[in-house]
């Protein structure tokens, strides 16, 4: 099962499971969104994950079910 981790400045690690079976977060596919949440890609499932500061993960579908998503970034317009 895929997981997203949080590491504090003191080195404490907390892992949060991705709630979709087989969805694996990509290493280079994570960014901070304009809403204060983190977003990550799952290249093998064409999904984008949203992680709140409390560790709640919501999976968001994309319009392209064939694409392999490997990167995500916040644009100058504030959109992902």
Q: What is the mean pLDDT of residues 28-34?
A: 83
Name the band, by pLDDT with cuts 50, 70 and 90, for residue 61. Answer: confident
**pLDDT recorded at residue 12:** 95
Name the band, by pLDDT with cuts 50, 70 and 90, for residue 64. Answer: low
Answer whether residue 67 shows pLDDT above 80: no
Q: Out of 15-19, 35-39, 49-53, 68-72, which region has the weakest mean confidence (pLDDT)?
A: 68-72
Give the residue from 46, 47, 43, 49 showing the smallest Cα distance to 70: 43
Question: Quick check: 24 and 1 in contact, CB under 8 A?
Answer: no
């Amino acid at each position: 099962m895929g997981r997203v981790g949080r590491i504090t400045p003191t080195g404490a690690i907390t892992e949060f499971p991705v709630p979709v079976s087989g969805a694996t977060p990509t290493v280079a596919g994570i960014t901070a969104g304009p809403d204060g949440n983190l977003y990550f890609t799952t290249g093998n499932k064409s999904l984008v994950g949203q992680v709140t500061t409390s560790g709640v993960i919501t999976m968001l579908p994309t319009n392209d079910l064939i694409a392999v998503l490997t990167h995500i970034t916040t644009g100058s317009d504030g959109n992902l």
